[in-house]
Each structure stands twice: as structure tokens, then as C-alpha cells.
Amino acid sequence: MPVDTHGLNEGHVGKRMRVELADGESLEIRLHELTVCASPEPCCGITYILHSANRSDGKRQSGAAYWTAFGEIEKFEVLGD
């Protein structure tokens, strides 16, 4: 069964993007890598460098690398290179 990447593909790697997550968090990121497994496993998702987030609860730090599962992504927008 193919993995649902929610529209993200290798052409998005390296791009600056805004990503909205299912929990309402909005992130501005630079996409580093897509991880696509043979089947929908917990390892399928994106790795990115965080530029900013709409929450300041100390959960995420700007400039740090993070991973998020494809299933947590509601929508995204490419902002530039």
C-alpha cells in the first residue's frame, strides 16, 4: 500500500515552507528530508529545520531539527527556496 505523503515529494526538499499540523500548530520550516517506508509505519514523515512556530511553549526551538509524521500534517504551503 503506498504511503500518503499528503502531497509532499522530493521536489519540496530544501524549500522553505509553512506547515499546519492536526493539533493547530503552524510551523515555518526548511524541509530537510522525506522518510517513506515500505508500508505506513511510524517512521514515515518529514525531517526539517524549524524557523518559527505559532506556539511558544518551549516545546520546539528555532534552528533545531525535528521529525513529524505525515499523518500529523493538515496542509502545507511552499514559501520559497
Question: Which residue is associated with the grid cell 500529523?
Answer: 72
User: For the chain, what are the domain ranges?
Assistant: 10-80
Q: Structurally, what CATH architecture does the domain formed by 10-80 represent?
A: Roll (2.30)
pTM score over 0.85? yes
For 7-29, the DSSP string reads T--GGGTT-EEEEEETTS-EEEE
Closest C-alpha to 31, from 54, 59, 11: 11
What tens-digit pLDDT sequence spans the chain (81 residues)? 577 888 999 999 999 999 999 999 999 999 999 998 776 567 899 999 999 999 767 778 999 999 999 999 999 999 999
